[in-house]
Chains A and B, each alone.
Chain A
Amino acid sequence: MIWQFDIIILIFMVLAAIIALRVKDLLGATLVFGIYSFLICLLWAEMGAVDVAFTEAAVGAGVSTVIMIATVFSTARRSRD
């Protein structure tokens, strides 16, 4: 564990979570959520949970972003909130 990285990444994560929920364009929100997943993947690696980090990089940042983009493309892109 490296607490300096920990604090920086956690602050960025909270920012990314808030931005992902405030952006009105759903495609943008999905991409910011992908950034959030990558940050949390870095955090797992920093805490020594390498297997969890690997899974998160493949699943959270890869596949779940892709399927959310697929859904946004086949439904509405704009959101009212």
Chain B
Amino acid sequence: MLKQVEGSHAVAEAVALCRPEVISAYPITPQTHIVEDLGTMVKAGAIENCEFMLVESEFGALSACIGSSAAGARSYTATSSQGMLFMMEAVYNASGMGLPIVMTVGNRAIGAPINIWNDWGDSMSARDGGWLQLFVESNQQAVDVHIQAFRLAEKLSLPVMVCMDGFILTHSYSQVDIPEQAQVDEFLPPFEPRQVLDPASPLSMGAMVGPEAFTEVRFLSHQKQLDALDLIPQQAAEFEAIFGRDSGGLIKEFDSAGAETVVITLGSVVGTMKEVLAGMRDEGHSIGALTIRSFRPFPSAALLEALKDAKRVIVFEKCLAVGMGGIVSMNVRMALKDQPIKVQSVIGGLGGRPITRAGLRRMFEKGLNDQLEEPHFHDIDMSIVERELEREKSQLRSGSIAENVLHDVGVVAAAKTI
């Protein structure tokens, strides 16, 4: 049914349609609306046979899901930013134990300095944590991918993160087609756990594994992710057959086939890019966009195929490996290591910095001429950076960088970025 709803509410409705049995909730912006709505639904009896747990921390939230999933219950939670870091030990544990938990990440920057706005620092900090990471570009995608996520997770016996841009998606209202229960039931069978805590058939889970078997266990978790590279598109096709929408999958091409220059990104920013790139194509540039919908597993083969005619790639990412550069671009370069394709890395949108059409246009034009420095910090104000560097050179006790920069930027300018 078509509804004009907030992204968070749409996700809550999608999760409810998946008949979750245990939901754990801890408040952190910007995922709060999702669990608030789910809590209301459980309390009102709109989700049957479901326990809604108000836990004391994100570490408790995911730990509770570890317990409930191990006991055979379809389990869900959501987090963002610092919450992801606070639960990190449990993030690795859930995947190591092969528990098919689904978790929404309302993507938000990680502090310090504390920042509640969108970038992908949180999900990226867990990119090696053994979870599948599916990024969505719209609230319709968010709905559809959550439904696919439960099936994927349970098929693979691995946890899945659905990563959606905080505020940009979680708090925006748009038209979303909320599926019918019968459709979801047709697509998503009841959870049949591969392993379950059951007094009728006792087993020990979480045993200590030494050097004699650890490598093999790790290899299997890698192999399972590689298997997901086949399963994800397969399930997306089955989803399309039932729901009539192309959602999910490994990558999505937006006029990138045959283009000389391809812009690669994740998440919602492709919406703005599509408009800019359409204008540039009208002017005769051979340029298109491609989003990576499955960041883990990383779709190297799909990228290779999609980029077979490309000469140049510009990776735009809202995250930074400090001391190294782009994270997504590192992964893309790995996939393209044997190809004569130039990869330029652009870091932008950090901590919610607006990404404008004009800014993108300027950056793409530099990229078309191979003029982007490595990595390129999109829309950075170097005068602010230089002032702080000068301050550090001239004074030993130069103070906190964050406070200094905020002061230099000025309160008015700071408010503008909000």
Q: Do A and B come from one complex?
A: no
Chain A interface residues toward B at CB < 8 A: none
